[in-house]
Homo-oligomer: A and B are copies of this chain.
Amino acid sequence: MTIQPNRPSVGQLQPSLIRQLANGALGRDDVLPLWFGEPDVPTAHFIRDVAKASLDNGNTFYQANAGHPLLRTALKDYMNCLYATDFVEDNIIITTSGMAAVALATQCVVAEGDHIVTHSPTWPNLPSTPQIMGADLTCVPLRPKDGYWHLDIEELLAACTSKTRALLINSPSNPTGWMLNDAEQQHILDFCRAHDIWLIADEVYSRIVYDRPHAPSFADKITDDDKVLIVNSFSKTWAMTGWRLGWLTIPKSMVTTFEMLVEYNFACVFAPIQLAGVVAVNEGESFVQESVARYKVALDFVTDQLEDLPRVSFPKPRAAFYAFFGVDGVDDSFAFAQEILAKTGVGLAPGIAFGTDGEGYLRLCFASDVERLEQAFDRLKPMLT
């Protein structure tokens, strides 16, 4: 007997197509996995060492809901340094991943039947979480324009109705590498203020940017009166994907609400992980810059490769570490990704995994040494030619 969940929205969730594809490669040792959004190196030793020392010190007890005071301080200083803001500790809530930050923000913002507007193609987790909470979603498509991905902001705002309670924005975007500029952010924020609409801004790729030190952020445009929740994570910036450490930037009057949401979802984050986060933030700046420089080399290599292939169209990413490219003649990206995997052993994510607006595309994570990408393209080229 197959048991169905009682909550209808959970019954309607779709399993990840990337995971489904990857499961088909279990047991194969010749696969070059470029499907997940994960750097190819383990977390730096100076970060791991702090977690080990914290374990030695017996830091195995419950922690404060809002997060370890040292980490909240480190993060408000980090934000204030990056954005010239004046956040205090109560603007910062530590979460067990960026994903958990999205989940808590959604629980705060989405009531049953609320209308939410977002853009696509998008990381599938972003629409799924509001869907669990009962949201009715509209996705406004990103489109290629002048060699980059583009979102028509007027089209985004026109999708809002009187039932719209929140905008869900992921800039820089996974999978496209699209990025809002400051004027567009200000325009969106003004609209949200005028119409009393919440804004959940997923900025986890804010530091993986190729032409400036950080992506434009809503952080330096908001006040403590704005209904804006900014999601961030240690995963991408400090190559800490597995650690499950993220944070929310919130209006400080909401700190008690978020302490309760943390308590009633996972209660707190392991102290050794949080203390590792402190050293990542305080001493990780050169690591971040070296990583971005390495990803830039990889991006340049991938761009050269893809631009050589006449069947491929590749709107360039301004940020993040994905090449999201279309292949002429492909109208079933899942089947095509399966075929690529079977014939070449290269693991790519099918565009359809990011919504119907991603159909015909493939996502390749280039957070990798060029040697590995060379191998991948040697195998891929016959399939893309």
Residues of chain A at the chain B interface (Cβ within 8 Å):
1-11, 13-16, 19, 36, 38, 42-43, 48, 51-52, 55-56, 58-63, 65, 96-97, 99-100, 103, 107-112, 114, 125, 128-129, 132-134, 165-166, 198, 224-225, 227, 239-244, 251, 253-254, 256-257, 259-261, 263-273
Contact = CB atoms under 8 A, between A and B. Distances in A.
A266 B241 contact: no
A42 B269 CA distance: 16
A64 to B, nearest CB: 9
Contacts of A254: 3, 5
Taking chain A's interface residues, is the majority helix, strand, or loop, or is none over half, making it mixed? loop
Nearest to A227: B3
Tell me the number of copies of this protein.
2
Given A2-B253, A48-B58, A62-B242, 13 more contacts: A3-B225, A7-B107, A15-B256, A15-B260, A16-B263, A38-B62, A52-B55, A96-B244, A99-B264, A100-B266, A125-B263, A128-B264, A270-B270
A251 B3 CA distance: 8
A224 B61 CA distance: 35
A99 B265 contact: yes
A110 B6 contact: yes
A5 B16 CA distance: 30
A109 B5 contact: yes
Contacts of A14: 260
Given A7-B133, A270-B270, A48 B60 contact: yes
Nearest to A243: B270
Contacts of A125: 263-264, 267
A242 B134 contact: no
B253 A1 contact: yes
Contacts of A51: 55, 272
Contact of A38 (B36, B61, B112, B114): B61
A268 B253 contact: no
A157 B273 CA distance: 43
Given A96-B266, A271-B242, A7 B109 contact: yes
